[in-house]
């Protein structure tokens, strides 16, 4: 059974150790949020987010692609010779276009041949979350959709915090429906929101999910 590891652009330092610690086949999906935002600021572009998704113009998509390529190369270098760099749009990741957000997509479960072939060969596919179009896709959502598509078990969201906190307490488990309700009620904010929703979606589709020590269950 394949494990999907989702790493953020700011938390790639631990990915090599996480991959090395697993005996199972591993697929890595990464983001590049901090790098994209930094480069946008350098170019005088103002970031705008709607429900965790970055509004993406053609100019911003160029920044997104360059940032994904840089992070992908860094993750592959950290993992070593087994890593296979894969650009999501090039391997056929699918997403529903959300035109109100520009060149942005909501991912659909898919199982690209390039990912399956790499896993079958004992390699580690490292996937950037662009979808066919190209469309910019939230990396947490893409990791979840890919995990469902390839029948992974489990999906783990690597973060720079121990897990999900609620009212100052670290949660050991949270039910998917409860997580969605709390998010809708404004109980969480920031980067944990798309992770919780993505983990909840995976759990509802039969893929065990965890954010740090917090298990998200169906």
Quick one: 125 exposed, middle or buried, by C-beta within 10 A (0-12, 13-18, 19+)? Answer: buried
Rounded to an integer, the average pLDDT of 2-9 is: 93
Residue 212 pLDDT more than 80? Answer: yes
pTM summary value? 0.94
Tally Cβ neighbours within 10 Å of residue 70: 15
Tally Cβ neighbours within 10 Å of residue 59: 11
* CB-side neighbour CA atoms (13 Å) of 58: 0
Residue 10 pLDDT more than 80? Answer: no
3-217 maps to CATH 3.40.1160.10 = yes
Quick one: 205 exposed, middle or buried, by C-beta within 10 A (0-12, 13-18, 19+)? Answer: middle
Residue 88 pLDDT more than 90? Answer: yes
Q: Give the Cα separation of 92 and 4 in Å (integer).
A: 18
What is the distance of C-alpha 128 from the center of its chain?
8
pLDDT tens digits along 104-155: 999 999 999 999 999 999 999 999 999 999 999 999 999 999 999 999 999 9
Q: Give the Cα separation of 150 and 120 in Å (integer).
A: 12
Residues 6+ apart with CB under 8 A from 13: 78
pLDDT tens digits along 147-206: 999 999 999 999 888 999 999 999 999 999 999 999 999 999 888 999 999 999 999 999
């Amino acid at each position: 059974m394949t494990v999907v590891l989702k790493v953020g652009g700011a938390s790639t330092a631990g990915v090599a150790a996480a991959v090395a610690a697993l005996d199972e086949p591993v697929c890595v999906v990464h983001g590049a949020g901090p790098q994209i935002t930094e480069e946008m600021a350098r170019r005088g572009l103002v970031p705008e987010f709607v429900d965790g998704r970055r509004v993406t113009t053609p100019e911003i998509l160029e920044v997104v692609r360059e940032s994904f390529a840089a992070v992908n190369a860094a993750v592959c270098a950290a993992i070593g010779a087994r890593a296979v760099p894969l650009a999501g749009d090039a391997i056929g990741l699918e997403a529903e276009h959300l035109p109100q957000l520009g060149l942005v997509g909501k991912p659909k479960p898919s199982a690209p041949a390039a990912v399956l072939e790499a896993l079958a060969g004992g390699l580690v596919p490292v996937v950037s979350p662009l979808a066919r179009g190209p469309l910019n896709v939230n990396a947490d959502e893409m990791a979840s959709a890919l995990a469902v598509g390839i029948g992974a078990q489990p999906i783990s969201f690597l973060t720079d915090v121990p897990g999900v906190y609620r009212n100052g307490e670290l949660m050991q488990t949270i039910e998917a429906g409860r997580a969605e309700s709390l998010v809708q009620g404004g109980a969480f904010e920031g980067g944990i929101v798309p992770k919780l929703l993505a983990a909840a979606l995976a759990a509802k589709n039969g893929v065990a999910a965890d954010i740090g020590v917090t298990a998200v269950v169906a």
